[in-house]
A and B are shown apart, each in its own frame.
Chain A
């Protein structure tokens, strides 16, 4: 028995069987499996990539949100500070106005008082002058009869002045 001589019968069947098996598997077997494996690999890679992108997007959205919040806070602070300032300004202006108007009123009052006083004084002076003339008339009329009395009266009046 020669182990090193290929048996033609077995060779025949081997070529036939191997050919058929190869044909079947190469056509309907392995391409399907390999394709599925490659597609799954691609699918997993794509999924990982999109997950990564989604994560990045989420992170950027978060950052954006934080930025927005910080901006809003800063703006709020600014607005409040502005309002406070404005309030202070308004208050100051109002106080100033009140002060000036009060001053004005006081000044006006003082002026009018002074004017009234002046007027009253002038009137009193006029009255006194006319009264003094009256009195002088009367006195002069009554006492001119008596020279001594005239003298006395003049003296008295001079004394009083």
Chain B
């Protein structure tokens, strides 16, 4: 989690909320360290067609091809046109780049492990990294997918594995404070929402007829479903609250972890103005707390990936065995 040093204003005051929210949100460039900034390509689809340019064209409020970065309002920090309209913005932002890094990492790791099996066959037991990946894959396949879904779990196993490893990799990379990591990917609601939508598809689109019957005509006393469809309404809402809870749980957990670590780190900069006598002990406190929180977040990274996966598996299992 790179702390943008430029958030420090001329007055010497540190704007902690801006640092924290600047990190939690997205940006068109990636601060690596100090003044080293990686400018990322902007891709906007507006009325004039598709425009592709590097984000340094828009630095410090500059305007390019009629686009600039809004300073305030609903779209603060985002690319808008001169009249304040937001175009369809599919820029490779910091989070998108992080997303690509996660995807490439995930693909290379899993396909690499798979190629080991293609080469060595099943009669040889892997060691080292491949062995570790095998343990993880086997755990999700058997203890999560098979245990929760039961018969026919093989169809869902690749999805659960993908989502588990995707969230886990994103969580872990998010904890890394330097370049290839540090973005707040799983703490972004767009990412968790997509994961939850895929879970929604996995839960509902492959369910048997009995599942839909249990939603729209549940096995309850007749006055609970006709003439007023009380239970069907509750069941129907439940269909959407399940993935919604998945979205919010992951998003809130990871975001909160990032906020706490950033806030604890910020203690050093807040107390810097109060003199060495306060700053020195508070720095120690801050570092100790940060170490503790990072350990905790490491745990949370695994737990949240696991919770998302096992809940999805359980929802699929419920849909299939009702």
Q: Which residues of A contact B (CB under 8 A)?
A: 1-15, 17-18, 20-22, 24-26, 28-37, 39-40, 43
The residue from B76, B88, B93, B162 contacting A10, defined by CB atoms under 8 A apart: B93
Q: Which residues of B contact A (CB under 8 A)?
A: 21, 24-26, 74, 76-77, 88-93, 95-96, 99-100, 103, 106-107, 110-111, 113-114, 117-118, 121-123, 125, 133-134, 137-138, 141, 154, 157-159, 161-162, 166, 188-191, 193-195, 198, 255
Distance in angstroms between the alpha carbons of A160 and B93 in the assembled complex: 178
Distance in angstroms between the alpha carbons of A126 and B113 in the assembled complex: 138
Q: Give B220 Cβ to nearest chain A Cβ, in Å.
A: 35
Residue in chain B with minimal CB distance to A17 = B103
Number of A-B contacts (CB under 8 A): 130
Q: Is there an interface contact between A24 and B107, defined as CB atoms closer than 8 Å?
A: yes
Q: Is there an interface contact between A33 and B113, defined as CB atoms closer than 8 Å?
A: yes
User: Please, which residues of chain A bring their CB within 8 A of the CB of B194?
Assistant: 11, 14-15, 18
Q: Give A78 Cβ to nearest chain B Cβ, in Å.
A: 54
Q: Give B202 Cβ to nearest chain A Cβ, in Å.
A: 10
**Can you name 10 A-B residue pairings with CB atoms under 8 Å?**
A3-B189, A10-B93, A21-B166, A29-B114, A30-B110, A30-B161, A32-B118, A33-B134, A33-B137, A34-B154
> In this complex, which of A2, A9, A14, A21 has the most chain B Cβ atoms within 10 angstroms of its Cβ?
A9
A30 with B125, Cβ < 8 A, contacts A3-B25, A17-B103, A25-B106 known? no
Q: Is there an interface contact between A25 and B162, defined as CB atoms closer than 8 Å?
A: yes
Distance in angstroms between the alpha carbons of A26 and B166 in the assembled complex: 13
User: Please, which residues of chain A bring their CB within 8 A of the CB of B157?
Assistant: 30, 34
A-B pairs, top 6 by smallest CB distance, nearest first, are A26-B158, A6-B190, A39-B122, A29-B110, A36-B117, A32-B114
Q: Is there an interface contact between A29 and B189, defined as CB atoms closer than 8 Å?
A: no
| Interface of chain B, main secondary structure | helix
A10 with B96, Cβ < 8 A, contacts A25-B162, A36-B121 known? yes
A14 with B191, Cβ < 8 A, contacts A21-B107, A21-B166 known? yes
Distance in angstroms between the alpha carbons of A28 and B137 in the assembled complex: 14
User: Please, which residues of chain A bring their CB within 8 A of the CB of B113?
Assistant: 29, 33
Q: Is there an interface contact between B26 and A28, defined as CB atoms closer than 8 Å?
A: no
Q: A13-B99, A17-B100, A34-B154 are in contact. List 13 more A-B contacts (CB 8 A).
A: A1-B25, A3-B25, A6-B193, A9-B88, A9-B96, A10-B188, A17-B99, A21-B162, A24-B107, A29-B107, A30-B114, A37-B134, A43-B123
Q: Is there an interface contact between A9 and B90, defined as CB atoms closer than 8 Å?
A: yes
A22 with B25, Cβ < 8 A, contacts A10-B96, A33-B114 known? no
